[in-house]
C-alpha cells in the first residue's frame, strides 16, 4: 500500500489519469462540434445558392440573354466545383487531355449547366426549397438532402440530394446533385465516356459534339 501510494505520487498518475480520460472526451466534443458546424454550413450554402438564383431570376426579368447567362455563370462558378465535375465525368481520359482541351471541356460543362438553370429558373422562382437533413460521409463528403415543393400543390414534391466537399481553398462546393435518385454526374459521365471510348479517347470529337449542339 505504501509502495503503491509512493508510486502514484511519484509518477503523477493522477494527472495522467485526467489526461487519459479528459483528452479523448475533449477531442470527441470538439470534432462533433466541428462536424455539426460543417453540416450547418453545407445547409446554409445550398439555401444561399437557391435564394441567389431566385433573386437573379427576378432582377434579370427584363435583362437581355447575355446578362442573364453571365449572372448564372458567376453563381455556378461560386457554388459548383467544375474542376471536379470535369474530372468525374471523363474518368481516366481526363489525364490524357491537354490543358486547352480541359479548359474547353469545363467551359462546355459550364454552358450546359447554365442552360439547364435558365430553362428552369422561372419555374424555380415559384417553388419552395426545404432542407430536410445533412450527413457527413467519410472524411470529406457531405450529403445534404432537401425537397422542392409547389405551394399550390400543382406538382408533386421533388427530392434532391446535394453532394458537397471542400475545394483546395477550403470552401464548400457542390460536386453532384441527385434529382429523384438520378445523379447528374453519373448521367453525364455515361454519355461522355461512351463518346470518348468510341473515339479512342479523342477529346476533340467530344468537344465537337458539344459545339455542334450550340
Interface residues toward other proteins, by CB under 8 A: 84, 87-88, 116, 119, 137-141, 153-154, 156, 163, 165, 175-176, 180-183, 186-187, 190-192, 194-195, 206, 209-210, 212-213
Task: Assess contact for 91 and 189: CB atoms under 8 A.
Answer: yes
What is the smallest separation between the CB atom of 134 and other proteins, expressed in angstroms? Answer: 14
What is the smallest separation between the CB atom of 129 and other proteins, expressed in angstroms? Answer: 19
Task: Assess contact for 176 and 88: CB atoms under 8 A.
Answer: yes
Nearer to other proteins, 48 or 191 (CB): 191
Nearer to other proteins, 171 or 194 (CB): 194
What is the smallest separation between the CB atom of 112 and other proteins, expressed in angstroms? Answer: 9
Task: Assess contact for 41 and 144: CB atoms under 8 A.
Answer: no
Q: What is the DSSP string of 41-109?
A: HHHHHHHHHHHHHHHHHHHTTTS-HHHHHHHHHHHHHHHB-HHHHHHHHHTTHHHHS-HHHHHHHHHHH
Nearer to other proteins, 47 or 157 (CB): 157
What is the smallest separation between the CB atom of 91 and other proteins, expressed in angstroms? Answer: 10
Nearer to other proteins, 51 or 116 (CB): 116
Amino acid at each position: 500500500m505504501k509502495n503503491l501510494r509512493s508510486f502514484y505520487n511519484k509518477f503523477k498518475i493522477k494527472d495522467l489519469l485526467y489526461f487519459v480520460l479528459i483528452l479523448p472526451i475533449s477531442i470527441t466534443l470538439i470534432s462533433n462540434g466541428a462536424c455539426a458546424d460543417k453540416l450547418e454550413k453545407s445547409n446554409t450554402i445550398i439555401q444561399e445558392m437557391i435564394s441567389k438564383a431566385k433573386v437573379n431570376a427576378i432582377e434579370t426579368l427584363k435583362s437581355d440573354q447575355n446578362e442573364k447567362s453571365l449572372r448564372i455563370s458567376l453563381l455556378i462558378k461560386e457554388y459548383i466545383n467544375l474542376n471536379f465535375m470535369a474530372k468525374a465525368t471523363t474518368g481516366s481520359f481526363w489525364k490524357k487531355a491537354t490543358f486547352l482541351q480541359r479548359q474547353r471541356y469545363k467551359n462546355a460543362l459550364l454552358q450546359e449547366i447554365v442552360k439547364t438553370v435558365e430553362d428552369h429558373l422561372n419555374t424555380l422562382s415559384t417553388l419552395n426549397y426545404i432542407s430536410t437533413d445533412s450527413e457527413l460521409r467519410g472524411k470529406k463528403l457531405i450529403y445534404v438532402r432537401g425537397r422542392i415543393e409547389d405551394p399550390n400543390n400543382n406538382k408533386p414534391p421533388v427530392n434532391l440530394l446535394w453532394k458537397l466537399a471542400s475545394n483546395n481553398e477550403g470552401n464548400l462546393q457542390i460536386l453532384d446533385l441527385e434529382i429523384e435518385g438520378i445523379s447528374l454526374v453519373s448521367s453525364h459521365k455515361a454519355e461522355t465516356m461512351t463518346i470518348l471510348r468510341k473515339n479512342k479517347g479523342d477529346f476533340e470529337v467530344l468537344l465537337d459534339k458539344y459545339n455542334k449542339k450550340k
